[in-house]
Amino acid sequence: MSVIVDKQTRLCVSGITGREGSFHTLNNRAYGTQVVSGVTPGKGGLDLEGIPVFNTFREAVAASDANTAMVFVPPAFAADSILEAADAGIETIIAITEGIPAHDELRVYAQLRRAGGARLIGPNCPGVLSPGKANVGIIPAAFFREGNVGVVSRSGTLTYQVGHELAQRGLGNSSIVGIGGDPVPGSSFVDILELFQDDPETELIVIAGEIGGRAEEDAAEFIAGHVTKPVVAYIAGFTAPPGKTMGHAGAIVSGSQGTAAAKAAALEAHGVRVGRTPTEVADLVTEIAAK
């Protein structure tokens, strides 16, 4: 099995006719993802190398039976695109767009949670890859191989680096989930940890976090009460000077709260082994997997 995307994923891409949207749409299809339709208002009736384009998500879903959306539209229009996808019955929405205003993110989060039925990954995320099954987003799939290690990360580049380190040691992944580093993510570490805990194919979990916020502390508390599988973590920012902020909008440190040391302490207190570098994380995973 895998989580979020798999061979049953039927993808509709919002912003399919844009430069980035078309490039990654075709990359996802080349990997084997079922890309069944796209949406660009005003360009309905066109196609991208055989992929039909519609004016609205409702039209796209009705014609192609899409169950997953990837959002590649400009920040000003992303919130409406996400909500339109959910209103059309899309079950999984993966928002790649970065720079969405925080108040738009909050509005989307509140409406989706209130309505139920749709899972949002992102925004400002690299997407989701289930090796050998489907790739939705911008994750360079060639770095990864099939296996039993689930990875969830706030950082796109850390996702790639950790996965590459694991692959060099002969380890593969059930799924790789980039949740993004914005202040109001659609899905949290806790949401994805719950999926990995319930996934029989995932036998070990890697968390890649960073300084700022309390997402990792929340994950530690959830792991203590609900996760029986081994978890290894990495926190970006161990060497950051006091008061230093990172590029992600959610990486805000207040006093000692949100520091890498505080996050590592919270995780280690609940049995999570924390590597100080991605290489050390891969070494820890290799050690655990060999037992």
Active site residues: 248
With tokens 């014609």, the residue in question is: 63
Among the listed residues 139, 120, 116, 141, the one whose alpha carbon sits nearest the alpha carbon of residue 131:
141
With tokens 């208002």, the residue in question is: 41
117 burial class (0-12, 13-18, 19+ CB within 10 angstroms)? exposed
**4 vs 136: CA distance, rounded Å:** 10
Among the listed residues 221, 241, 239, the one whose alpha carbon sits nearest the alpha carbon of residue 231:
221
With tokens 């139920």, the residue in question is: 116
Among the listed residues 209, 231, 208, the one whose alpha carbon sits nearest the alpha carbon of residue 289:
231
**76 vs 204: CA distance, rounded Å:** 38
SS (H, E, C) 149-215: EEEEECCHHHHHHHHHHHHHCCCCEEEEEECCCCCCCCCCHHHHHHHHHHCCCCCEEEEEEECCCCH
Residue 287 corresponds to which amino acid? E
